[in-house]
Amino acid sequence: MSTSTSTTRVALVTGGSGGIGRAVVERLAADGFAVAVHYAGNHATAEALVAEIEAAGGQAIAVGGDVADEEAMAAVLDATEAAFGGIDVVVNTAGIMVIGPVATFDLADLDRMHRTNVRGAFVVAQQAARRVRPGGAIIGFSTSQTRLQHPGYAPYAASKAAVEAITLVLARELRGKDITVNAVAPGPTATPLFLDGKDEQTISTLAGLAPLERLGTPDDVAETVAFLAGPARWVNGQIIYLNGGIA
């Protein structure tokens, strides 16, 4: 790990060791950010990503903790500040998805999902609101399912609707701080987790929903996150739907 210079911007990415989070980490590192790669359970994967970034000349550390645990997340931000001197951008990609119909949904799964997706989003936003430096950005993750209303997604979409509410209100609460607060809401995105268990027909059907006739990629999402993290200083208090025009 290298010590950050005063001109280097610093980002913390929760859930940064895999999937969309990994693509966000790689993009921000390529854009010159020093990046704290947060993981919940897979320390080795996070450390491997840090090693890749450092081998390419970038700066990174791995930081672990439960996003719903305020003490753990305070420690994560402490470690990021200690390593790099401050925090400019917090991207909260961490989340879990359990799907099923309302009538038969297991309430234990609901509680588990909402602990990570709602309480976790609130904890990360709270810590970010206290720590991010002027000129910085806070970026949450929702889902296009809040608009698509596909059967089976009510519990998950409800948890992400909470993220949208937190985002829109926090943007107004940070008036005068020169910190933007936005969320991205991806549609079907070709991550290993998304593709797992789906047959070719299902994947083809989902890809055909968008007028662009393909699934999104993690890099598609990372591109928009990088825009919000960097040049997009006049985009604030917005939910940006990344789905190729599905909704």
Q: Give me the catalytic one of 39, 153, 156, 241.
A: 156
Output DSSP code: residue 136: -
Return d(Cα 176, Cα 235) in angstroms, integer.
Answer: 15
Cα 20 versus chain centre, distance:
8
Specify the residue for token string 């698509």. 148
Greatest Cα-to-Cα distance within the chain, rounded to the nearest angstrom: 54
Helix and strand totals (H; E) in the chain: 10, 7
E strand segments, 46-141: 59-64, 89-92, 137-141
Can you tell me the distance from the alpha carbon of 60 to that of 56, in angstroms, rounded to the nearest whole number? Answer: 11
Distance CA 23, CA 39 (A): 14
Asked if 62 contacts 41 with a C-beta cutoff of 8 angstroms, the reply is no
SS3 of residue 110 by DSSP: helix
Question: Is there a catalytic annotation at residue 153?
Answer: no
- Beta-bridge partner residues of 38: 63
Burial of 38 (0-12, 13-18, 19+ CB in 10 A): buried
> Cα dihedral sign for 242, 243, 245, 247?
negative
User: Which residues have a catalytic role annotated?
Assistant: 156
